Amino acid sequence: MRTQVAIIGAGPAGLLLSHLLHRAGIAGVVLENRSRATIEATIRAGVLEHGTVALLNATGVGARLAREGLVHEGIELRFGGAGHRIDFAALTGKAITVYPQHEVLKDLIAARLADGGDLRFSVADVRLEGVGTEHPRVHCTDAAGTALHIDCDFIAGCDGAHGICRQAMPEGVPREYLRIYPFGWFGILAEAPPSSHELIYARHDRGFALISTRTPTVQRMYFQCDPAEPAERWSERQIWDELQARTAATGFSLHEGRIFQRGVIAMRSFVCEPMAHGRLFLAGDAAHVVPPTGAKGLNLAAADVALLARALDAHYREGKRGPLEAYSAAALARVWRAQHFSWWMTSMLHRFDEATEFDRRRQLAELDLVVSSRAAATSLAEMYVGSPLA
Ligand code: APR
Ligand code: PHB
C-alpha cells in the first residue's frame, strides 16, 4: 500500500498525530502492536496541560473531556505537616485538567474511526526501511497474519520508550542522555471519594507521596518506593498506613477504600537527540521520557506532534522544507525545559538515601522558598500548566 505518513504507535503521540494530519488532509496509517482493548484499558498519566486541552478542543475531540474532565486551578505542596497551595489561576490565569490518558486515547480512536482513519491494531514485526532516503518503507504483519508493505513519504516514530524507531537511525546518529533515579513510585487505584479537591504533592522523611484522582469514586495515589519493590507483597493496610503517614496534616483525613489496581513505576529522565533523521521523525516517549513528578509525559507527546503536524502541513500544502528541518531543534527546546522541571520537582520532593542532613535542610528551604515567594511559585505554576502548543 502507499500513504503519505506511516505512524508507528497508537499512544497519545501516534493517535493525536493521526488526528491532526487527517484534519490537514494528509493521508496516513497507524501501526500498533497492541490490541485496541489493551490500549484503551492501560492506566497511565492523568494531567492535561492548558495547551493540550486547548488543542483537543480546537480540533474537535474535547467534548467528553469538557464534560468529564476535572478542572484544577492549583496544587498543594505538603511538607512539615502543613499544606501550601500553588494557585495556578491567580499566578498564570490558567488551569490544568485531570482526565485519564486512556480516556484521551478512547476519544482519539473513536474520532479516527468515525473519520475513516486507517488504524491497524495488533500488528507484529514492524520494520522500517530507507529512513535516510526519499522513499522510506514500513513492513509488518497485520492482525490477520497478512504481510503489509507500505511505501510512504515520511515515518513518524511514535512507538514509545521501548519502541524500534529510534533504533532505525544509523549507528552513531542518536545521542542519548539518561538519568536513572534511585527510587520508583508505588501506584494504586482505589474505590474511595476524593480526599482533596486538588492534587497533593507531599514531601516526607519517609518518602514522597502524591494524592491524585480519576473520578468522584476512583482515586489515584502514589508513594515513593524501591524501584524493585514487589507490589503484590504489600497488604492493603500497609499501603494505606504508608500513605497516611506521608500525607498527615492538621485537619486532613485520607479516605481509604478497596485497592483494585497496583503497580511500581520506575523513574528516569531520557532524551534522544536529534529527534529526526532523513524521513523519520520521532515524537513522544520514543524520543524522551520524564519522571512523572511534573506530569509532563503526555503533554510533551502532544507538543511534539502539534509541531510535527504543522511542519508536515507546511511541506505538503506550501512545499516548505524549513519547518520539518527545524522540527527536532524546536521540539528539543521544549523537551529540555520539561526535563529540567520534572527533574527539579523530583529532586525537591523525594527522599534521597545518600542525602546528608545539609541536603535535607536545603531541600526544605527550597520548598519553603517556592511557597513563600510569588516569583518562585509563579515559575512552578507556569511550568506545570505548560506553555501554548504550536
Ligand atoms: N510496533 C508497533 N507499535 C509499537 C511498537 C512497535 N514495534 N513498539 C511500541 N509500540 C506501541 C506501544 O504499544 C504503545 O501503544 O507504541 C505506543 C507508544 O505509546 P506510549 O508509550 O504511550 O508513548 P507516547 O504516545 O509517546 O505517549 C507518551 O504515554 O506512556 C505514556 O507516560 C507516557 O504519558 C506519556 C505518554
Ligand atoms: C496521575 O494522576 O496519575 C498523576 C498526576 C500528577 C503527576 C503524576 C501522575 O505528577
Calculate what percentage of the chain has a pLDDT beyond 70.
100
Grid coordinates standing for 169?
537511525
Indicate which atom in ligand 1 lies nearest the CA of residue 285.
Answer: 26
Calculate what percentage of the chain has a pLDDT beyond 90.
98
Residue 175, pLDDT score: 97
Query: Hey, is 172 helix, strand or coil?
Result: coil
Indicate which atom in ligand 1 lies nearest the CA of residue 292.
Answer: 32
pLDDT in tens, 250-273: 999 999 999 999 999 999 999 999
Residue 390, pLDDT score: 77
Is the pLDDT reported for residue 239 higher than 90? yes
Query: Hey, is 276 helix, strand or coil?
Result: strand
Is 194 annotated as catalytic?
A: no
Evaluate: CB of 292 within 6 angstroms of ligand 2: yes
- Quickly count: other Cβ atoms within 10 Å of residue 1's Cβ: 11
Residue 364, pLDDT score: 98
Report d(CA 302, CA 69) in Å as an integer.
17
Residue 158, pLDDT score: 98
Is 201 annotated as catalytic?
A: yes
Evaluate: CB of 13 within 6 angstroms of ligand 1: yes
Helices 101-114, 12-23: inter-axial angle, 10-degree rounding: 30
Exposed, middle or buried, 164 (CB in 10 Å: 0-12/13-18/19+)? Answer: middle
Pocket test for ligand 2, best of 86, 201, 222 (most atoms within 8 A of CB): 222
Give me the architecture of the 5-70+99-177+268-347 domain, per CATH. 3-Layer(bba) Sandwich (3.50)
Report d(CA 195, CA 201) in Å as an integer.
13
pLDDT in tens, 268-315: 999 999 999 999 999 999 999 999 999 999 999 999 999 999 999 999
Identify whether the C-beta of residue 33 lies closer than 8 Å to the C-beta of residue 124: yes
**pTM of the model as a whole:** 0.97
Report d(CA 92, CA 167) in Å as an integer.
40
Rounded to a whole number of angstroms, the distance between the first and last alpha carbons of the chain is 31
- The domain ranges of the chain are 5-70+99-177+268-347, 179-267+352-385
CATH class of 179-267+352-385: alpha beta
Report d(CA 58, CA 68) in Å as an integer.
17
pLDDT tier, 208 (very low <50, low <70, confident <90, very high otherwise): very high
pLDDT tier, 125 (very low <50, low <70, confident <90, very high otherwise): very high
Residue 43, pLDDT score: 86
- Over range 326-347, report the average pLDDT: 98
Looking at the CA of 293, name the nearest ligand: 2
Identify whether the C-beta of residue 28 lies closer than 8 Å to the C-beta of residue 18: yes
- Over range 175-204, report the average pLDDT: 98
- Quickly count: other Cβ atoms within 10 Å of residue 250's Cβ: 7
Q: Report the mean per-residue pLDDT for the chain.
A: 97
> Which helix (DSSP H) or strand (DSSP E) does residue 307 occupy?
helix 297-318
